[in-house]
């Protein structure tokens, strides 16, 4: 009789043993299926979130190294600033798509009102000097924030390179700020660069001097990445402070901010003789730039960091946007690590348990196998018969566990995420200048989804059948060593 036919007959004749083997494979298959499903889902989340974080990178102080210094070392340490020449050198690397370097400062205004959120104007009580408007300097005329979809130009135009180089008094503001003050493209508005002194006796700040900064509006933008509905969904109806700051951001050429910083510092030194004496003889610079490099693709991040690090002054480091993933992906990382250990344990358990079950069944059938061999059946065909019997049952068991394991993975992961997120600061929004989007831990959890897709099915069948094959091959050594004469005597 053909050994293939014998294999199928062996399954039907020994229904009890086949059902036992099926139950073992089904139970172990659920563990493998669930763990593999969670592994795939967490991997998809990481890829999706890092894609949303973008390919931006920056250079900043390495605070971990600085904090590790002693007080004596900090007292004599002179920290070098990142200069424009170094920023341009880094920006010319092949990994960089485009780059910018920016200054920023905060100014107030007596002629326009800042945006404070929808319907929240009456609830905002300001005390002391108002510095609501953040001036963000630009060197890259098309504006990287617009190129990377943090904001979108909805009216007017971006800067020309000539305006940026000459420090022309032009600005791009948010549409909501413009609407609130009935401003349009082509209008001018006035900000105030105020210099305050601090009275130690009264504990109050007093205005020493000020000057107006008149800017012409050349464009209006709308935020794209900041969640405008965060206030409606967040605890207590709190509006989104980050959205408010961005709505009150004013894009201007870097030279304007450098000029205002210089004015502010010089006027303050006139009011504070002690501070002026301390600054005497010091090289005064009013240009402190934050660089931003947008890479060609996410895979360039590691190579970019390796090439840039030797160029940096001491105590500076490269920060990539994708690094922020580790800060917000606590629950997902916990599940990924747990599922990895469960998957390894499930595979090992499947090999051991299934191998032991097959070995016990073979010992019970050694007389049958001895008869086949004594009748001249080749050992390879006998091995093939056993493989057919086991693998057919395995395919059925794995197919059943494919669906139940996927369902189990969804329920288990939901429970784990809820438990983990309750202990985490899921309500905190992690924001960085190098990010295209503002993401929370809740965003990461929302991106997690256990799916029954083709890659999961193929991957699970591959792992499951390979594990069963290995667990079956080991006991088959028993058949190879059988001596039919001893069995039949």
Q: Which residues of the chain have pLDDT under 50?
A: 122-128, 227-239, 423-431, 436
Query: Looking at the structure, do residues 111 and 234 belong to the same domain, yes or no?
Result: yes
The answer as to whether 243 is a domain residue is: yes
pLDDT tens-digit map of 188-206: 999 999 988 877 777 777 8
Total domain count for the chain?
2
Domain boundary among 264, 287, 310: 287
Contact 263, 211 (CB under 8 A): yes
The answer as to whether 214 is a domain residue is: yes
Domain boundary among 255, 271, 287: 287
Query: Looking at the structure, do residues 375 and 469 belong to the same domain, yes or no?
Result: yes
Query: Looking at the structure, do residues 175 and 227 belong to the same domain, yes or no?
Result: yes
Query: Looking at the structure, do residues 265 and 159 belong to the same domain, yes or no?
Result: yes
The answer as to whether 321 is a domain residue is: no
* pLDDT of amino acid 427: 43
Query: Looking at the structure, do residues 108 and 227 belong to the same domain, yes or no?
Result: yes
Instruction: Report the distance separating Cα 434 and Cα 93, nearest Å.
Output: 18
Query: Looking at the structure, do residues 37 and 145 belong to the same domain, yes or no?
Result: no
* pLDDT of amino acid 300: 87
Contact 220, 153 (CB under 8 A): yes
Query: Looking at the structure, do residues 44 and 123 belong to the same domain, yes or no?
Result: no
* pLDDT of amino acid 367: 73
Q: Which domain holds residue 204?
A: 104-287
The answer as to whether 322 is a domain residue is: no
Token digits for 136? 């963000």
Query: Looking at the structure, do residues 277 and 341 belong to the same domain, yes or no?
Result: no
The answer as to whether 111 is a domain residue is: yes
The SS3 call for residue 156 is strand
Instruction: Report the distance separating Cα 64 and Cα 323, nearest Å.
Output: 15
Query: Looking at the structure, do residues 392 and 472 belong to the same domain, yes or no?
Result: yes
Query: Looking at the structure, do residues 344 and 435 belong to the same domain, yes or no?
Result: yes
* pLDDT of amino acid 484: 61
The answer as to whether 175 is a domain residue is: yes
The answer as to whether 323 is a domain residue is: no
Query: Looking at the structure, do residues 450 and 393 belong to the same domain, yes or no?
Result: yes
Instruction: Report the distance separating Cα 196 and Cα 286, nearest Å.
Output: 18
Pairing mode, if any, of strands 133-138 and 249-253?
parallel
DSSP class of residue 110?
A: S
* pLDDT of amino acid 158: 95
* pLDDT of amino acid 232: 42
Query: Looking at the structure, do residues 338 and 202 belong to the same domain, yes or no?
Result: no
The count of other CB atoms within 10 Å of the CB of residue 448 is: 21
* pLDDT of amino acid 285: 64
The answer as to whether 99 is a domain residue is: no
Instruction: Report the distance separating Cα 429 and Cα 234, nearest Å.
Output: 11
């Amino acid at each position: 009789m053909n050994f293939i036919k014998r294999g199928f007959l062996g399954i039907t004749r020994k229904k009890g043993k086949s059902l036992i083997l099926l139950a073992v494979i089904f139970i172990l298959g659920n563990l493998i299926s669930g763990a593999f499903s969670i592994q795939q889902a967490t991997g998809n989340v990481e890829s999706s979130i890092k894609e949303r974080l973008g390919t931006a990178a920056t250079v900043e102080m390495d605070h971990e190294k600085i904090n590790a210094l002693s007080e004596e070392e900090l007292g004599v340490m002179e920290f070098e600033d990142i200069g424009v020449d170094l920023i341009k050198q880094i920006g010319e690397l092949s990994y960089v798509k485009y780059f910018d370097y920016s200054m920023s400062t905060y100014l107030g205004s007596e002629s326009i009102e800042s945006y404070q959120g929808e319907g929240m104007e009456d609830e905002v009580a300001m005390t002391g000097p108002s510095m609501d408007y953040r001036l963000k300097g630009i060197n890259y005329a098309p504006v990287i924030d617009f190129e990377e979809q943090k904001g979108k130009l909805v009216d007017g135009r971006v800067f020309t390179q000539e305006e940026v180089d000459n420090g022309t008094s032009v600005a791009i503001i948010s549409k909501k700020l413009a609407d609130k003050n009935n401003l349009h493209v082509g209008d001018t508005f006035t900000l105030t660069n105020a210099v305050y002194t601090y009275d130690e006796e009264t504990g109050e700040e007093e205005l020493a001097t000020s000057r107006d900064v008149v800017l012409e509006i050349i464009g209006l933008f709308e935020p794209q990445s900041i969640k405008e509905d965060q206030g409606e969904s967040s605890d207590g109806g709190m509006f989104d402070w980050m959205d408010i700051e961005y709505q009150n951001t004013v894009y201007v050429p870097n030279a304007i901010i450098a000029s205002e910083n210089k004015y502010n510092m010089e006027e303050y030194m006139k009011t504070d003789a002690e501070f002026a004496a301390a600054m005497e003889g010091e090289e005064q610079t009013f240009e402190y730039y934050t660089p931003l490099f947008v890479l060609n693709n996410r895979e360039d991040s590691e190579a970019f960091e390796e090439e840039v690090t030797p160029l940096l002054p001491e105590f500076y480091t490269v920060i990539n946007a994708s690094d922020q993933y580790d800060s917000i992906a606590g629950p997902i990382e916990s599940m990924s690590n747990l599922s990895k250990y469960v998957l390894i344990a499930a595979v090992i358990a499947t090999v051991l348990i299934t191998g032991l079950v097959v070995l016990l069944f073979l010992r019970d059938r050694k007389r049958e196998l001895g008869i086949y061999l004594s009748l001249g059946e080749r050992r390879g065909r006998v091995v093939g018969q056993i493989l057919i019997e086991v693998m057919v049952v395995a395919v059925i068991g794995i197919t059943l566990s494919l669906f139940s394991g996927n369902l189990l993975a969804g329920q288990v992961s939901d429970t784990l995420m809820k438990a983990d997120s309750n202990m985490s600061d899921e309500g905190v929004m992690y924001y960085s200048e190098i990010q295209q989007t503002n993401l929370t831990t809740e965003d990461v959890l929302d991106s997690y989804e256990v799916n029954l897709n083709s890659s999961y099915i193929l991957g699970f069948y591959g792992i499951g059948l390979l594990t069963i094959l290995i667990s079956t091959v080991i006991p088959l050594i028993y058949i190879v060593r059988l001596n039919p004469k001893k069995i039949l005597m």
